[in-house]
Structure 1
Amino acid sequence: MSNFSKTFSSTLGRKLIMCLTGLFLCAFLVVHLIGNLQLFANDGGYAFNKYAYFMTHFTPIKVISYLLYISIIVHTVWAIIITSKNKAARPVSYAVKGANGSIWSSRNMGILGTIIFLFVVIHMSNFWYKYHWGATPYVEYSTNLSTGETQAREITEAEYGKQYVTYVDNGIEVVKSKDLYKEVAFAFSNPIYSLFYVLAMAALAFHLLHGFQSAFQTLGWDNSKYKPLVNFLGIWIFSIAIPIGFALMPIYFFLFK
């Protein structure tokens, strides 16, 4: 076995892989949330559908998306491996949970991760898969460039022409696109799915509460110089702000759309 293989098959190596893939997924969460904030725009989905098209057709983003899929799989597989090895090394559980000073989230990363992985699978089947290969509806936006007023109408697949179209005709900007916004609104009209989404974001919050800070500990950045910043980002941004931002989406659509 080469030194490279030995490094990444060791306990430290496995933690390093978890650390790097986890931080990459954290970066994705920030970008994904910023893009999904377009859902709150009162424009009939115009901004969100443009964002969805850009994210699925801009080549650099497409390349990064494949890295994302790989990171999700690797992060999940290595989490299972680490959990299994930890259980094998300690077959008898602690008599008193938390007696070693660990917080609840750190002791239940496996359960939290399982909920999140299940959510990712369902989430991607509802939106990512349908957008690429499912029966996604189509919409045409007509914007008067002098007044800025936009009107939307549902169109057929034949009218759409199997490609995103934008052009200007007599001062009217016309955009034809797949209507992922309508798919989102339909999904979040289901109370069971909306509730599951919110609960998954709660699981994400607790997962990140431990995972984000643990990643920097693995990197050796948990000293007095970096720890205050890492704690602030880990708690207030990744464990509170980001999960709440995502959770507000199903709540907003279920209650107001």
Structure 2
Amino acid sequence: MNKLSNFYDSSVGKKVLMSLTGIFLCLFLVEHLLGNLLLFAGAETYDTYSEFLAHNVYLFIVMRFIELGLFASLFLHAFLGVLLWFKNRATRPQKYEKKKAPEDTLLASRITMITGSIVFIFLVIHLRTFFVPTRFGTEKFSPYQVVADAFQSAPYSFFYIIALIFLAYHLRHGFQSAFQTLGLRTKSYIKLLDAIAVIFWLLIPLGFATMPIYFLWFHN
């Protein structure tokens, strides 16, 4: 128990936990995108998919565990990110040592903190817009229509797309950093992981961006 506590208290331990929660959240993004692409199949298909997830007994139990894991991972990831950022600021070299500090690393840390904060705010608004009404709402309505109504609002759609740009920046640094922290970004796999990272931070945000674009400009 002491070893586990000491590991968590160390910067390395926090970075490892942050990396693992980040990878878990990335995997959820893939699943979430694939499910949401059914929006393009129409209201009946998407609503049937949503009803199946909500009312299948076994899936309902699995989904509740996944939800708990997601919320725990999200808040732990954000909490550790803030802790590490403040710790890095506290241990930042003095002025006469700054020339020796890796400027790219410091800049990446600042950008990751900023983009992460914006993405977190976006997620709170996103959950309030989509998750809360469909999960806790008392009225019966179409999940497809909830999405359509939200994205047919130009201010919300533009906000959503801008938030996705910040998400892309966050994923760009975080995806590579996670594998570096876990010791997997070795010479043997660095090119493969970098290629996957580029595909990931480009395609995932682009995939989500197609939805507000479709509902705002092309949906009748």
Shift of 1:134: 2.6
Which ranges of structure 2 fall in alignment gaps of 5 or more residues? Answer: none
Q: How many residues align?
A: 213
SS of the equivalent of 1:101 reads: helix
Q: Is the 8 A contact 2:85 2:109 kept in 1?
A: no
Where do 1:128-167 residues align within 5 Å?
128-134=131-137, 137-138=140-141
Residues 156-178 of structure 1 show CA distances to partners (whole Å, capped at 9, x for unaligned) of xxxxxxxxxxxxxxxxxxxxxxx
* 1:101 Cα deviation after fit: 3.3
Q: Which of the numbers 48, 51, 74 marks the counterpart of 1:50?
A: 48
Structure 1 partner of 2:122: 119
Counterpart CA distance in 2 for 1:10 and 1:55 is 40
Question: 8 Å contact 1:209–1:239 — kept in the other structure?
Answer: yes
1:106-160 deviations in Å (ceiling 9; x for gaps): 431111001110111001111110012236553xxxxxxxxxxxxxxxxxxxxxx
> Secondary structure of 2:211's match?
helix
Quick one: which of 136, 140, 155 aligns to 1:192?
155
Counterpart of 1:15 in structure 2 is: 15
Shift of 1:103: 8.6
Structure showing greater relative contact order (alpha-carbon pairs closer than 8 Å, 6 or more residues apart): 2
1:16-49 CA-to-partner distances (Å, cap 9, x unmatched) read 11000000000000000000000111x3x11212
CA separation in 1, counterparts of 2:77 and 2:168?
A: 17
1:30 corresponds in structure 2 to: 30
1:225 match: secondary structure: coil
Which residue, 66, 72, 75 being the options, matches 1:64?
A: 66
Within the candidate set 64, 83, 86, 1:84 is matched to: 86
1:226 & 1:85 partners in 2: Cα distance? 30
- Give 1:185's aligned amino acid: A
Query: Does 2:203 match 1:241?
Result: yes
Structure 2 distance, partners of 1:4, 1:251, is: 47
Equivalent AA in structure 2 for residue 63 of structure 1: F
Is 1:213 the counterpart of 2:211? The answer is no
Structure 1 stretch displaced more, 195-204 or 128-137: 128-137
Quote the offset at 1:245 in angstroms: 0.3
CA RMSD of aligned residues (A): 2.2
More helix by share: 2
Instruction: Give the C-alpha shift of residue 205 in structure 1.
Output: 0.5
Larger radius of gyration: 1
Q: 2: distance between equivalents of 1:108 and 1:56?
A: 38
Residue 234 (structure 1) shift: 0.7
Distance 1:104 1:253 in 2: 36
Q: Percent identity?
A: 40
Distance 1:6 1:95, change over 3 A: closer
Q: In structure 2, give the amino acid aligned to 1:230.
A: L
Contact 2:164–2:209 under 8 Å retained in 1: yes
Matched residue SS, 2:201: helix
Describe the SS at the equivalent of 1:220. coil
**CA displacement at 1:2 relative to structure 2:** 1.0
Q: Residues 194 and 250 of structure 1 are in contact (CA less than 8 Å); yes or no, is this contact kept in structure 2?
A: yes
Q: 1:224 is matched with which residue? A: 187
**Distance of 1:79 and 1:53 partners within structure 2:** 36
